[in-house]
């Protein structure tokens, strides 16, 4: 087994990870989405949402159809014109999303599903659906980015019964669609559901919805809420008709946390699947198991699992008296992306070292600097739009100079920065806790003793508050090198 012959253990981004397909695990969040029991998959950036998304898209078969939207170049300005007025804010985009999903399903039914028409009723409904799509968009397979182009004309004939057609003729410009979208959707939906073959499975998936995210733009929240409600409504309608349809949404948990709408708690309880990983021994879905699959793929090439101990020399503890696995996990947010990155940095360090048969303590210690810089860059992608001034908060932590500090020491360092005079240090601490930049020393509890509490280890809403009496605070170990902190407590 030659570690020096390995190029890497995979990419940290799902769309750049050449090992993803061979090393994919049937995580409970994937199983829940695949079985259509949950439609909203949430998790921190890098937790594996896009891996599940891609797995669903790759799983096509003669009776399984999936199509995905990422919207990296989607014309949102056209979609925004579809907002309905005179309805609650959270429902302004529900019908425009329904229309997009229904047209996406129409593309599958008209172009991919070879079982159509599967019944006499489906024969008539499919013909009417085809007439509407072709007459309106000039193709059986229209480009999704053109669905809401304002000058497009929707043409209604061949069985569509719409109350406004008699008044306005057979054509309605897309710019005028919001006034009639509810009636249009009802007609299109009835045909689509009639055509869905009950022996087939249909998936419409949405990923990368964080593109364009802004806490200061109310339209963004309204759009995402509209998509969630549209997905729920269509899945219910299909289920009632005996069809197997899932509209699966992949969303960062920090974005989901800030959304506020009437049915959020019901949806959270019933329809949310969270992508989480752990470090324990009893679960199959640990970061160790994830890496052991990758070790096997790059070292053996035949799907055989290679154990962690065969790659890392665990006979010698780290200076902190931790195993190497625990040492690495403590510096991650328990995300696949993090441990893959750390192991890749360890591999690079190993190549520069003595090149022995196992990764040793020195390899991990040398890898920490590059990894820590990476983790800080990852944080920027998540936190910047929530907390624009977060870098100034990090400067305060850096000025303290130690991993462990007290509330009083933070406030004292804060007071020496005039540029923060209008900001609240207590809110800053809460913000940093929200994103697990800091944790707090929690004493007692059911198991007794003391340990540090981190937001990423317990994302439940009622655990989101940094206790007012928490005095001993700690910077996440993954940021130690990037912030040039010294181990131990500030004095």
pLDDT in tens, 367-417: 999 999 999 999 998 898 899 999 999 999 999 999 999 999 999 999 999
Task: Mark whether 250 and 302 lie in a shared domain.
Answer: no
CB 247 within 8 A of CB 235: yes
Mean pLDDT score, 296-313: 88
Task: Mark whether 173 and 193 lie in a shared domain.
Answer: yes
Question: What pLDDT digit, counting tens, does each position of 448-488 carry?
Answer: 578 999 999 887 665 678 999 999 999 999 999 999 999 99
For residue 168, is pLDDT > 60?
A: no
Q: How far apart are the first and last CA of the chain?
A: 47
**What pLDDT score was predicted for residue 167?**
43
Q: Is the dihedral of CA 476, 480, 485, 489 positive or negative?
A: positive
**Rounded distance, CA 302 to CA 317, Å?**
31
In a domain, 255, yes or no: yes
CB 389 within 8 A of CB 457: no
Instruction: Identify the three-state secondary structure at position 388.
Output: coil
Task: Mark whether 294 and 201 lie in a shared domain.
Answer: no
Q: pLDDT category, 188, cuts 50, 70, 90?
A: very high
Residue 491: CB atoms within 10 A of its CB come to: 6
Task: Mark whether 159 and 283 lie in a shared domain.
Answer: no
Task: Mark whether 87 and 184 lie in a shared domain.
Answer: yes
**43-to-176, 276, 333, 478 alpha-carbon distances in Å:** 37, 7, 11, 19
pTM flag (> 0.75): yes
**349, 368, 383 — which closes off a domain?**
383
**What pLDDT score was predicted for residue 429?**
97
Q: Is the peptide bond before 117 cis (omega within 30 degrees of 0)?
A: yes
In a domain, 16, yes or no: no
Task: Mark whether 56 and 189 lie in a shared domain.
Answer: yes
Task: Mark whether 43 and 121 lie in a shared domain.
Answer: yes
> Which of 129, 128, 123, 90 minimizes the C-alpha distance to 108?
129
**338, 368, 383 — which closes off a domain?**
383
In a domain, 239, yes or no: yes
Task: Mark whether 370 and 408 lie in a shared domain.
Answer: no
If one compares 25 and 116, the residue with the highest pLDDT of the two is 116
**What pLDDT score was predicted for residue 216?**
77
Q: Which alpha helices (DSSP H) does 196-282 contain, by range? A: 218-240, 253-258, 264-271
**Structural domains counted in the chain:** 3
Task: Mark whether 117 and 142 lie in a shared domain.
Answer: yes
CB 484 within 8 A of CB 448: no
**What pLDDT score was predicted for residue 112?**
96
**244, 274, 304 — which closes off a domain?**
274
Domain that holds residue 439: 390-489
Task: Mark whether 316 and 365 lie in a shared domain.
Answer: yes
**What pLDDT score was predicted for residue 382?**
87
Q: What percent of the chain lies above the pLDDT cut of 70?
A: 92
In a domain, 8, yes or no: no
In a domain, 240, yes or no: yes
Task: Mark whether 86 and 200 lie in a shared domain.
Answer: yes
In a domain, 9, yes or no: no
Q: pLDDT category, 163, cuts 50, 70, 90?
A: low
In a domain, 398, yes or no: yes
Question: What pLDDT digit, counting tens, does each position of 20-57 carry?
Answer: 666 677 889 999 999 999 999 999 888 889 999 999 99
In a domain, 7, yes or no: no
If one compares 205 and 284, the residue with the highest pLDDT of the two is 205
The contacts of residue 179 (CB under 8 Å, 6+ apart) are: none
CB 199 within 8 A of CB 178: no
Task: Mark whether 283 and 270 lie in a shared domain.
Answer: no
Q: Which alpha helices (DSSP H) does 6-119 contain, by range? A: 20-23, 28-34, 49-58, 76-80, 94-111
Q: pLDDT category, 165, cuts 50, 70, 90?
A: low
């Amino acid at each position: 087994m030659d570690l020096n012959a390995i190029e890497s253990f995979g990419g940290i981004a799902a769309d750049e990870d050449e090992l993803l397909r061979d090393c994919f695990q049937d995580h409970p969040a994937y199983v829940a989405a695949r079985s259509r029991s949950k439609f909203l998959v949430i998790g921190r950036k890098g937790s594996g949402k896009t891996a599940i998304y891609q797995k669903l898209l790759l799983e096509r078969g003669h009776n399984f159809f999936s199509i995905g939207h990422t919207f990296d170049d989607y014309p949102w300005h056209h979609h925004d014109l579809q907002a309905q007025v005179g309805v609650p804010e959270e429902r302004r985009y529900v019908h425009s999303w329904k229309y997009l999903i229904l047209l996406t399903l129409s593309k599958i039914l008209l172009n991919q599903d070879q079982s159509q028409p599967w019944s006499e009723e489906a024969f008539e409904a499919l013909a009417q659906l085809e007439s509407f799509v072709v007459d309106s968009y000039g193709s059986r397979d229209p480009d999704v980015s053109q669905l809401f182009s304002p000058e497009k004309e929707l043409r209604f004939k061949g069985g569509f019964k719409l109350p406004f057609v008699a008044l306005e003729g057979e054509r309605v410009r897309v710019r005028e669609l919001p006034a009639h979208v509810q009636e249009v959707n009802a007609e299109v939906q009835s045909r689509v559901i009639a055509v869905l073959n009950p022996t087939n499975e249909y998936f419409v998936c949405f990923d990368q919805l964080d593109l364009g995210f802004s806490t200061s733009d109310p339209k963004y929240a309204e759009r995402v809420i509209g998509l969630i409600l549209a997905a729920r409504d269509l899945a219910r309608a299909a289920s009632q008709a005996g069809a197997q349809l899932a509209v699966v949404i992949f969303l960062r948990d920090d974005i989901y946390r800030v959304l506020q709408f009437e049915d959020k708690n019901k949806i959270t309880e019933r329809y949310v699947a969270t992508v989480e990983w752990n470090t324990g021994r009893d679960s199959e879905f640990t970061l160790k198991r994830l890496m052991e699959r990758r070790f096997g793929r790059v070292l053996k090439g035949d799907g055989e699992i290679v154990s962690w101990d065969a790659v890392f020399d665990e006979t010698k503890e780290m200076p902190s008296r931790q195993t190497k696995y625990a040492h690495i996990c403590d510096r991650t947010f328990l995300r696949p992306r993090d441990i893959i990155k750390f192991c890749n940095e360890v591999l690079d360090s190993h190549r520069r070292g003595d090149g022995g048969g196992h990764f040793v303590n020195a390899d991990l210690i040398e890898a920490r600097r590059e990894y820590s810089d990476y983790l800080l860059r990852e944080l920027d992608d998540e936190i910047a739009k929530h907390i624009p001034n977060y870098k100034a908060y990090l400067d305060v932590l850096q000025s303290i100079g130690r991993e462990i500090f007290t509330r009083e020491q933070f406030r004292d360092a804060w007071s020496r920065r005039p540029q923060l005079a209008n900001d609240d240090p207590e809110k800053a601490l809460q913000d940093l806790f929200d994103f697990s930049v800091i944790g707090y020393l929690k004493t007692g509890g059911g198991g007794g003793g003391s340990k540090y509490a981190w937001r990423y280890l317990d994302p439940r809403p009622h655990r989101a508050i940094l206790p007012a009496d928490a005095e001993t605070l700690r910077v996440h170990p993954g940021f130690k090198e990037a912030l040039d902190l010294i181990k131990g407590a500030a004095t």
